Amino acid sequence: MDFNMKKLASDAGVFFSRAVQFTEEKLGQAEKTELDAHFESLLAKADCTKNWTEKILHQTEVLLQPNPSVRVEEFLYEKLDRKVPSRVTNGELLAQYMVEAANDFGPGTPYGKTLLKVGETQKRLGGAERDFMHSASINFLNPLRNFLEGDWRTITKERRILENRRLDLDACKARLKKAKAAEAKASLWSDEVEKAEHELRVAQTEFDRQAELTRLLLEGISSTHVNHLRCLHQFVESQATYYAQGYQYMLDLQKQLGRFPGTFVGNAESTSPPPATTSPTTVAATIPVVATVGRAPNPATAVEGALNLNDVKPPASGTRKARVLYDYEAADSSELALLADEMITVYSLPGMDPDWLIGERGNQKGKVPVTYLELLS
């Protein structure tokens, strides 16, 4: 108990000495040991790294999870060392609603079929988003958090110790200066000078040792930058993979929707879709077919060859006009790009896929999907 009281009194004395030294420095009444320029540069670099790492970490979390309440909940689970509950992504939830709606509307109806197709794609997009979030969390967020919660806390602790050692050193310098000033007036103070010089040597040794330790930690910031650079590359690769998957999924979906038979084809005054039993060949049968001369072409290459050679002519009579319902971007040179509400001339060729027609606009010619058209009489 007696030892503890002595230690408590000693600690109180050190704290008071540091407080006095700090106050006098702020008031300009005491000298302060300055760190060298290289050391100050390392400190500035460390502070800059910490500040920007916090901002990048926070904004990446917002990007991956825009809902703030969910982020707070996940943070609490992590602090309590409990597993974060699995959640469906927005895309997966949308897919679920679309599938349920399709079942209610009838999966055999045009609308129901489309909902099922779109829902399946949304589910795949949701899965890709989940994979991206998981990869980004492991390869990018975790290293940033580990730096802030590990290395940076260690650096902060050692910097605080270094500052205390500096205050002790400057306090010892101040005491030695006062002792020497008193010694000049009376020789009785020689013991105080020796004591102050001893304390100064000890304080200087401790300060130098702590400064070297802190310097080594600060120089490790360069290695931190290299590690974060590697993590950043992994984050970009994960994000690129995610967007590439999403783009491919949507391209596939667009092709599927563009080939739905007869969903939107009909009279301009009709507001209901054709019966589910309508055959894809029903619409195509009403389109004039260009007669062929000589040997019959291969059905698989008839359209491509005709378009490439520019020798296919529309029938002399019976061609039909069609109004474009939606914009359509041509996939290749054999197709004709469309703009919503424009009027084009359409007809069919032998061996063509019944879901496609030949469309003409002026001197432009190409295949067009039937589902993007409203055939007029």
Q: What is the pLDDT of residue 20?
A: 81
Q: What is the pLDDT of residue 259?
A: 53
Span 104-150, pLDDT tens digits:
999 888 899 899 999 999 999 999 999 999 999 999 999 999 999 99
Residue 101 pLDDT grade (very low, low, confident, very high; cuts 50, 70, 90):
very high
Q: Round to whole Å and give the CA distance between 9 and 207.
A: 23
pLDDT at 365 over 80: yes
Span 278-312, pLDDT tens digits:
334 334 444 544 444 444 444 434 444 444 535 56
pLDDT at 273 over 60: no
Q: What is the pLDDT of residue 187?
A: 56
Angle formed at CA 207 by CA 201 and CA 213, multiple of 5 degrees? 140
Span 179-223, pLDDT tens digits:
887 766 665 557 778 888 888 899 999 999 999 999 999 999 999
- Joined tokens for residue 228: 């974060």
Q: What is the pLDDT of residue 82?
A: 74
Q: Are 297 and 325 in contact (CB under 8 A)?
A: no
pLDDT at 233 over 90: yes
- Burial class from Cβ neighbours inside 10 Å (0-12, 13-18, 19+) for residue 283 reads buried
Span 129-142, pLDDT tens digits:
999 999 999 999 99
Q: Are 359 and 367 in contact (CB under 8 A)?
A: yes
Of 166-170, 232-236, 239-243, 281-285, the range with the lowest mean pLDDT is 281-285
Residue 13 pLDDT grade (very low, low, confident, very high; cuts 50, 70, 90):
confident
CB atoms within 10 A of CB 78: 12
Mean pLDDT (the chain) is 81
